[in-house]
Every structure is written in C-alpha cells, then in structure tokens.
Chains A and B, each alone.
Chain A
Amino acid sequence: MTEVERALLELAGDVAWPPTPEPSFRLPARGRRELRRPVLAALALALAGLAIAFAVPAARSAILHFFRIGGARIERVRTLPPVRERPLAASLGRPVSRAAARRALGAPVRLPAALQLHLSSSGIVSALVATSDGPVLASEFRSVPAVVLVKKVAASGTRIETASIRPGTTGFWLTGWPHVVLEPAPARLAGNVLLWDDGRATYRLEGRRLRLATALEIARRMGR
C-alpha cells in the first residue's frame, strides 16, 4: 500500500458526510398476503381473459397483450424480436444439489428425481430430461404474483391452448411457431412449451419436438 493510499484510508473517519437519515422502508406490496393469494383465482382470471380474447377477435389485440401464469408472463406481439436459437442447456445456471435447489425454491423440488439440477441466477431450478421426443428442459421457479421470472413473447403463429395437467390444475400449451423467451437472458427461440402453476411454484417443460402427451406424462410424474 502506498503512502497516499494509507493516508486516504486514515482520512475515512474524518469526512463530514451529511447525517445519515433514519431508514423508513416504504416497501411496496410484495407481502405475505400477496404471496398467499389463492392462485386458483389468478388462474381463473387469466383463463377468463384468454377466453374473452379468443372469443372476440376485435378485442384480441386490445386485451391479449399479455397474461400471467405464476411467475411467468406471456405477451402477444405482432413480430418476434430477432433472436437466435440456443441450446436448451445454454442458460441452465450452475449445478446444485437437491438440497440447494430446495432452499432456493423454499419448498421441495418437484422435478423428476435422479436428474442433475441447475440453479440460475434468477432462482430458476432446471434439469434436462431425456425423452422419446428428444431432450426436454424442465424448470420450476417460485410463483409470486408481483414477480416475473420468465417472460415470453409469442406471435400469432404460436398457438396457446389450455391443457389439463391433473384435476384442478390447468396449464398452457404453446406450440406451432417458435416463441421467444426474453427472460431469463439471453433471449432465445423456444420450441413447444407446457407451462403450469400450482400456487407454490411455476413449472415449465420445453422441447423442440416435445408433444403434449409426453409433456403431460412428465408433468404428472412431477406430482403436486
């Protein structure tokens, strides 16, 4: 350390900073009540919005700009942003133990057992699953109404349908034209996706050749 560095460090205690005010944390609503909001109600609302949007073509562009399911947001756009395909494993995150994944989710991991789990910097737990439809990226992340962890945009060529995961749990099946996953970064083109939410977490299965039957089979194996 040089003389001037030492002198600066010694000076640290002598600087007359303005008095530090008392913190008065005005935290916006992201409280427990919101965390506990019955997700069925949110899902019902989203489905109702979808039904209206699809039923009334004129209202489609006005209403169906976006909808939420758990921690995911899907936006309808006219044209997709220019992004390229990336390998499914491109943004998996770092490998973690099941215990670490559980800590990140704040609840037991539902992804199929015996898979290497990964944790992204945004808190998404993922694993690659080998299926008869090719590799499938399986992910789960917390469902918090005020927070979007996954953001997708889909043009008109992407079909969005509802799919019954199990009694009482409905998800969305995105197929047809590839859609774009904007978040988590980097943005990339995505194949077919099954997306659902159980109130605790949001789940996502993605594969270029993934069929709905295969996706539902995996989803049902993940339990509730």
Chain B
Amino acid sequence: MLRAQRGDERAFAELVRSEWEVAFRVAVLTTGDAGEAEDAAQEAVAKAWRALLRFDPDRPLRPWLLRIVGNEARNRRRSAGRRARLALRATAATPSGDAAPSPESTLVARDERRRLLADLDGLPDDARAVLTCRYLLDLTEEETAAALGLRRGTVKSRTARALDRLRELHDRG
C-alpha cells in the first residue's frame, strides 16, 4: 500500500486486482448492466488512485474501494434515469461433493437452488441487494454498508428483515 501511495502504479494494480471481481459484481448489482458496471468499476479504480493518499493504510482496502465503486455505480444508474435489474440466475453446473450424488438427488438439489435464487430475485431491490452482498458476494456488514452506501446498523436490520421475507416466500413456495 505504501508503495502504491508513493505513486507506484504496479503496486496499486496488484492491490486492486485482488478486489476487482467483487468490485465488478457490486457494480453489476447496482447498475443492473454488465457494460455499465465495467465502466463504473474502471472509473472507480481511477478515482481510488487519485484519492489514494487520503486512504489510511492501516485500514482494510476493500470497504474503501467498494464505497467508491458503489457511489460511482449509483451515480451512473441515476444518470441513466432507469432502474435496470439484472436477474440472478443459477449456473448449469452441478454442485461438487465428496460422494457422487444420484441423478435424482442432483435434480432435486438443482431445482431447490433455482427456486431459492428465484425467491431472492423476487425480493424488493433493497432486500435483494443486501442479501446478495452478504451471502452471494460474502461481504461483511462493513463492506456491504460501504458498497450500498448504508450505515452498518441499517445493513444489520435490513438483512434480518430480508431473511424473514425470503424465508416466508420460500416456505410458501
């Protein structure tokens, strides 16, 4: 980090590369469009580079970077004047495991995953975003708060409500 703060672009690129995928996915979640998300994430990285001297090197990089990415993605979504939403879909791959599952149990498991994902996708935007960050992107509360521009307490309460809602939907289905 200190090398990056002294102007070493390669050191900065190394730091950001490890966060790039999650940064891009946060931007996808916010903009709802892969192309827009790529532009937002790239622009956010440029902004992070310009602001790097203001970053406290004793603090974790990810929340700071995700805050910049989230802000950039929200600004772009607002500018676009639309509320695009990229549907969450499951991959076609089967889950891995130590023992080979039977074809029947594989189908049941796949169906169950698809149904849960569809239920998550059917939640209101706020609830869907917070659960996606916390569980699908495996972000901490602090990182989720930074990415979504929320307070940590709001993330906590919103997560609890969203989980309740998801449970209801899933049980009903």
Contacts and interface: CB of A to CB of B under 8 A. Distances in A.
B90 interface: yes
Given A4-B163, A23-B20, A18 B49 contact: no
Contacts of B90: 11, 14-16
B119 to A, nearest CB: 9
A5 interface: yes
A30 B93 contact: no
Given A4-B170, A5-B135, A11 B16 contact: no
Interface in A67-124: 103-104, 106, 119, 121-123
A18 to B, nearest CB: 4
Contacts of B102: none
B42 to A, nearest CB: 6
Contacts of B51: 147
A38 interface: no
B147 interface: no
Given A5-B163, A14-B90, A14-B95, A106 B6 contact: yes
A2 interface: yes
B35 to A, nearest CB: 9
B113 interface: yes
A12 B25 CA distance: 12
Given A21-B24, A147-B53, A106 B89 contact: no
A17 B54 contact: no
Interface string A143-158: 0101101000000000
Interface in A1-59: 2, 4-5, 7-21, 23-28, 30-32, 34-35
Contacts of A146: 50
A12 B167 CA distance: 17
A149 B54 contact: yes
A142 interface: yes
Interface SS of A by simple majority: loop
Contact of A12 (B12, B24, B137): B137
A2 B163 contact: yes
Contacts of A14: 90-91, 93, 95, 113, 117
B135 A18 contact: no
Interface residues of A, number: 41
Nearest to B137: A12
B61 interface: no
Nearest to A36: B7
A12 B112 CA distance: 14
Interface in B42-71: 42, 45-46, 49-57
B49 A11 contact: no
A9 B134 CA distance: 9
A25 B8 CA distance: 13
A37 to B, nearest CB: 11
B25 A106 contact: no
A27 B135 contact: no
5 contacts: A9-B135, A11-B117, A23-B13, A34-B7, A147-B51
Interface of A: 2, 4-5, 7-21, 23-28, 30-32, 34-35, 103-104, 106, 119, 121-123, 142, 144, 146-147, 149
Given A14-B91, A24-B42, 20 more contacts: A4-B163, A4-B167, A4-B170, A9-B135, A11-B116, A14-B90, A14-B95, A15-B136, A21-B38, A23-B45, A25-B9, A25-B49, A27-B45, A28-B46, A32-B7, A103-B57, A106-B5, A123-B53, A123-B56, A147-B51
